[in-house]
Structure 1
Amino acid sequence: MYSIETCKEMINSYIEAEKAVLLGQSYKIGSRELTRADLTEIIKARQLWEHNLTLAQNSGRRTQSVQVIIRDL
């Protein structure tokens, strides 16, 4: 389990990576074309960290269960 702070830092890092890729995902030098990173993979990783953040935020909460007995009178 990751801390809330770690999750937030990673989410911010992936948001910055998304911005960098969007500003210049690929470029050409002469006849060669270079691609910086795969935006889809960055988005998937950010979503994973968002999920980890949700888990970290909910880790202190207890779930409450209720037992119900159905009786036919």
Structure 2
Amino acid sequence: MAGITLAIAEAKLAVWLAAEEALATSQSYEIEVEGNRRQLSRADLGQVAKRIDYWNGWVVRLGGLATGRSRTRTIIN
């Protein structure tokens, strides 16, 4: 894998946001991520929230790099 791109991170975030929405309105949701099919239930909302945070972090980091607004600083003495 060449690395996680902004497009990949945004797509993954969208998948997990859809899972959260479905779980909020029904008892279960089936999701397929990278060929792995999983059945999620309301009890898994904590896991879904963790994955949303994870992918949102990637989107924020990569989005900052794409716009040149990264939080990384180089200090030269």
- When normalised by structure 2's length, the TM-score is 0.60
Measure, in 2, the Cα distance between the counterparts of 1:48 and 1:56. Answer: 13
CA distance change for structure 1 residues 66 and 2 in 2, over 3 Å: closer, same or farther? same
Mapping for residues 53-64 of structure 1, pairs under 5 Å: 53-59=59-65, 63-64=73-74
CA distance change for structure 1 residues 57 and 16 in 2, over 3 Å: closer, same or farther? same
Aligned counterpart for 2:4 among listed residues 2, 9, 12:
2
Greater Cα radius of gyration, structure 1 or 2: 1
Match of 1:15 in 2: 17
Q: What code does the residue aligned with 1:46 have?
A: I
Kindly indicate which of the two structures has a greater share of residues assigned to strand: 2
Measure, in 2, the Cα distance between the counterparts of 1:44 and 1:25. Answer: 19
Instruction: List, as ranges, runs of 4+ consecutive aligned residues in structure 1 with deviation greater than 4 Å.
Output: 58-62
Structure 1's unaligned 5+ residue stretches are 27-34, 68-73
- When normalised by structure 1's length, the TM-score is 0.63
RCO greater where, 1 or 2, for CA within 8 Å and sep 6 or more? Answer: 1
Aligned counterpart for 1:65 among listed residues 52, 68, 75:
75
Deviation of 1:59 after TM superposition, in Å, equals 4.7
Structure 2's unaligned 5+ residue stretches are 29-38
The RMSD of aligned alpha carbons is: 2.4
Deviation of 1:51 after TM superposition, in Å, equals 1.3
